[in-house]
Amino acid sequence: MTSSAPTPLDVLRTTFGYESFRPHQAEIVDAALAGRDVLAVMPTSAGKSICYQVPALVLAARGTGLTLVVSPLISLMADQVGALRQAGVAASFLNSTLSASERASVLHGVASGALALLYVAPERLDDPAFLECVSARGVGLLAVDEAHCISQWGNDFRPSYQRIIDFVDRLPARPPGMALTATATRAGRRGIEGDLGLRDPLVVLASFDRPNLSFAVARPHGAAKKDRTLVAFCRQRAERSGIVYCSSRRAVEEVCELLRDEGLLATRYHAGLTPEERERNQDDFLYDRSRVMVATNAFGMGIDKSNVSYVVHYNLPLSLENYYQEAGRAGRDGTRAECLLLYSPGDVHTAEFLLSRSEPREDLTPEQRAVLAERDAERLRQMVFYATTTECLRAHILRYFGEEAPAYCGNCSNCLTDFEEVDATTDALKVVSCVARIAQRGRSAGAATVVDVLRGSRGEKVLRRGFDTLSTYGIMADVPARRVRAILDELVFRGVLARTAGDYPTIELTEASGAFLRREAPWDEPFMLKVARGEPRVARVAATPDKTRAATDVSELDELGRALYDELSDLRGELAREQGVPAYFIFSNATLVDMCAKRPHDVDGLLGVSGVGAKKAERYGDLFLARIAEAVGSRA
């Protein structure tokens, strides 16, 4: 440790290899170093960890105490500590995966002052030996990562916030607290602030926009078509890393099987597997031995793999919070990445079923439980709205999180699709009267059957029930099934018709149906419908084979740059294998792209590459510079 402590910017440049702070980071770092509490709401990948890692190193250099990072996620700890050690930072973690002797060695590092940063699980805070050890050393900063998991309204986590408050009270001096979360709703924020006992915190709300992510919703009709869409999508990206999220273990099994049958390097992850298999499969994915991870939402918390270039949702997530957090695992290194939601209306019932089955919270009163149930139902409605909207998807997400957003982003499937507004009043009346005719016979039918009746299908379901004798049979024979279905869904959405819950949902009349048929107010306006002029552009984009490799931005390099990128990623892979760490621990894709663009010929030049700090330059510089010189020389 030097006598004159480095500034935060010195630390950022020499240790992490970045030229400047990203938005909000400097403000947060300064506040923490000035002893002020901070509540930072930042999306995944906005560089949350830098906010406490940089102060930790400054504090350590000043000799003013240890930075404790409380994290509920064991995988996050291991991942961050591994990456920090690559950058030459004295960091460690304490959790249940360590043996007694390993724990003793970590505590020794704390006591001797060798460690700058220590990650701990909330449970550790109850341990008197731990309290004694860190009290002796002094805590310079207490950061709580993924703070929404610790808050009392967090979905599945233990209410460990009380532990943190108690722990801080027992310390000889109260350190500044820093809570970081990617959950942005106002209620969530207030909850965290109160639960962690933050005092007049600096509140930072970073934009949730991730400009490098493109968003798309595809609505393939039927299970077979959905599978074909998925397979085509993954195949065109076979060389890249991607995650496919499914809502059930069974779906994970089936989808993984499907992708493997197509020759894709897919693996799987869900709570039904043995811990050994989960760990093996996760490693295969992290180390790029498997390209596609098919998983339930149990996968990904705390996984910091930076080169995931797409995330597909095979089923409807339960909320936009979940969706955005999961989709946000794509493009962490800032390179272009894709988020695709495959939506079919049947998914809504699966989602409702999953909600109804979630375990009742014994610690809550019936009133609190009712509030939560209503909140969950509303979140799901908002999710369905995202899946069916024809407006800009990015704008929809950002507005949901309370941000202003332009109506057009130019980088989502809706912005890239030509829509037209058509007057569908006549067709809408036909659909509602068909449902009314079926009801008059004391029968009911699902959406698909209603569409079949209107289009004059000779299908068994229609004929057996005598629906071919209805006056509305075949009156929409000339309208494509997709259009009829879109009108029906829109009528349900607007409350003119209703879909029943249960395994076999049927379409029913509502109190509004009669007024709608009689064109009475408020239903006397034309029934306007936004419809795609052609096939949505997503399908066309998906049909174009993509020749780029791991990251889209590689395509922006010239020919030599692209060849060099392949060379350097091979070298990175060799080094990663030798050390038994994921490739992105060595250098991220974005760093390699920058290296291939700048092609430095000495260590100084290498330090000018984004993401190359002093330690990594020292450790890997010669090897990478030699490869670059070779490639450049061979072309000269």
Residues 6+ apart with CB under 8 A from 357: none
Shortest Cβ 225–Zn ion spacing (Å): 24
Shortest Cβ 399–Zn ion spacing (Å): 12
Q: Which is nearer to Zn ion, 320 or 412 (CB)?
A: 412
Q: Which is nearer to Zn ion, 379 or 394 (CB)?
A: 394
Shortest Cβ 409–Zn ion spacing (Å): 3
Q: Which is nearer to Zn ion, 38 or 392 (CB)?
A: 392
ω before 522 within 30° of 0 (cis)? yes
User: Which residue, among 143, 151, 168, has the nearest Cα to 76 in the 3D structure?
Assistant: 143
Looking only at residues 155 through 214 of this chain, which bind Zn ion when binding is defined by CB under 5 A?
none
Q: Which is nearer to Zn ion, 230 or 415 (CB)?
A: 415
Q: Which is nearer to Zn ion, 405 or 498 (CB)?
A: 405
Does residue 633 sit in helix, strand or coil? helix
**Could you tell me whether strands 213-218 and 266-269 are parallel, antiparallel, or unpaired per DSSP bridges?**
unpaired
Shortest Cβ 412–Zn ion spacing (Å): 3
Residue pair 128/67 in contact by the 8 Å Cβ criterion: no
Beta bridge partners of 217: 341
Q: Which is nearer to Zn ion, 71 or 414 (CB)?
A: 414
Dist. CA 295–CA 161, nearest whole Å: 29
Compute the C-alpha angle 373/376/378, nearest 5°. Answer: 110
Residue pair 492/471 in contact by the 8 Å Cβ criterion: no
Beta bridge partners of 338: 214, 310
Q: Which is nearer to Zn ion, 319 or 417 (CB)?
A: 417
Is the alpha carbon torsion for 148, 152, 154, 157 positive or negative? Answer: positive
Shortest Cβ 475–Zn ion spacing (Å): 36
Q: Which is nearer to Zn ion, 394 or 499 (CB)?
A: 394
Shortest Cβ 555–Zn ion spacing (Å): 22
Does residue 221 sit in helix, strand or coil? coil
Shortest Cβ 487–Zn ion spacing (Å): 24
Shortest Cβ 319–Zn ion spacing (Å): 20
With CB under 5 A as the contact rule, the residue among 58, 149, 387, 409 that binds Zn ion is: 409
Residues 6+ apart with CB under 8 A from 389: 396, 414
421: left (phi over 0), alpha (psi -120 to 50) or beta: beta
Q: Which is nearer to Zn ion, 410 or 514 (CB)?
A: 410
Looking only at residues 302 through 321 of this chain, which bind Zn ion when binding is defined by CB under 5 A?
none
Shortest Cβ 541–Zn ion spacing (Å): 14
Q: How many CA atoms lie within 13 A of 213 on its CB side?
A: 30
With CB under 5 A as the contact rule, the residue among 179, 342, 415, 447 that binds Zn ion is: 415
Looking only at residues 374 through 403 of this chain, which bind Zn ion when binding is defined by CB under 5 A?
392, 394
Dist. CA 187–CA 388, nearest whole Å: 26
- Which window, 50-58, 77-85, 118-126, 406-414, contacts Zn ion (CB under 5 A)? 406-414
Q: Which is nearer to Zn ion, 67 or 212 (CB)?
A: 212
Shortest Cβ 398–Zn ion spacing (Å): 10
With CB under 5 A as the contact rule, the residue among 106, 141, 398, 412 that binds Zn ion is: 412
Distance, CA of 542 to chain centre? 21
Shortest Cβ 214–Zn ion spacing (Å): 9
DSSP 15: I
Q: Which is nearer to Zn ion, 45 or 411 (CB)?
A: 411
What is the three-state SS of 45-84? CCCCCHHHHHHHHHHHHHCCCEEEEECCCHHHHHHHHHHH
- Which window, 125-133, 203-211, 229-237, 410-418, contacts Zn ion (CB under 5 A)? 410-418
Q: Which is nearer to Zn ion, 44 or 214 (CB)?
A: 214
Shortest Cβ 410–Zn ion spacing (Å): 6
Q: Most distant CA pair in the chain: distance in Å?
A: 92
Dist. CA 508–CA 496, nearest whole Å: 9
- What tokens appear for 335 in the block? 């390179």
- Which window, 295-303, 309-317, 336-344, 414-422, contacts Zn ion (CB under 5 A)? 414-422
Shortest Cβ 386–Zn ion spacing (Å): 12
Number of residues binding to Zn ion, judged by CB under 5 A: 5
User: Which residue, among 164, 118, 188, 142, has the nearest Cα to 36 in the 3D structure?
Assistant: 142
- What tokens appear for 98 in the block? 């360590």
Distance, CA of 228 to chain centre? 24
Dist. CA 151–CA 608, nearest whole Å: 41
Is the alpha carbon torsion for 131, 133, 137, 142 positive or negative? Answer: negative
User: Which residue, among 611, 536, 528, has the nearest Cα to 568 in the 3D structure?
Assistant: 611
Dist. CA 154–CA 147, nearest whole Å: 9
Shortest Cβ 395–Zn ion spacing (Å): 6
Dist. CA 188–CA 159, nearest whole Å: 14
Q: Which is nearer to Zn ion, 179 or 217 (CB)?
A: 217
Q: Which is nearer to Zn ion, 399 or 465 (CB)?
A: 399
Rg, Å, the chain Cα set: 28
Count the Cβ atoms, other than its own, within 10 Å of residue 399. Answer: 14
Q: Which is nearer to Zn ion, 408 or 524 (CB)?
A: 408
Q: Which is nearer to Zn ion, 392 or 476 (CB)?
A: 392
Shortest Cβ 597–Zn ion spacing (Å): 28
What is the three-state SS of 551-610? CHHHHHCCHHHHHHHHHHHHHHHHHHHHHCCCHHHHCCHHHHHHHHHHCCCCHHHHHCCC
- Which window, 413-421, 527-535, 579-587, 602-610, contacts Zn ion (CB under 5 A)? 413-421
Shortest Cβ 215–Zn ion spacing (Å): 7
Residues of this chain that bind Zn ion (CB under 5 A): 392, 394, 409, 412, 415
